[in-house]
Amino acid sequence: MRDLSHNLGVVQAVAPAVLTATNTSAAIDLFGFESAMVAVNTGAIAGSGNFTAKLQESNTTTSGDFTDVAAGDLIGTLPAVLLASNVAKQSYIGNKRYLRTVITLNSGTSIAASAVIIKGNARSRPVA
């Protein structure tokens, strides 16, 4: 009853790293899940690094098919600029099969960051 890990799927979108350029994750497959959220974890910012994060969606894994998720398919907001040593989250309620994260360098040097997609409402449980 209190075991959350067998009810969620967790996929690393961006491995923890110091990002010095825009990072676009691989496509994350939501098949078998009814909901998802992104969690972006940040560390140090160097050289006044200004980064933003967003979710993109698609029905295919083809890079050119991904588009920004419409505001109506999101719950919560990611910050306008990622802050140092912070965690930001946003829920996805759209119906596309694939999600990916985009962490964009707007100016400055770098940010330590990672991102995970947490998939919820699994159709089949327990989740491995």
CB 28 within 8 A of CB 98: yes
3-state secondary structure of 10: strand
The whole-chain average pLDDT of the chain stands at 96
Residue 99 and residue 57 in contact, taking contact as beta carbons nearer than 8 Å:
yes
Residue-wise pLDDT for 26-60, tens only, equals 999 999 999 999 999 999 999 999 999 999 999 99
By percentage, how much of the chain surpasses pLDDT 70?
A: 99
pLDDT higher than 60, residue 1: no
**Percentage of the chain lying above the pLDDT 90 cut:** 93
Q: Which domains does the chain have, with CATH numbers?
A: 5-122 (2.60.120.1110)
Distance, CA of 70 to CA of 65 (rounded, Å): 15
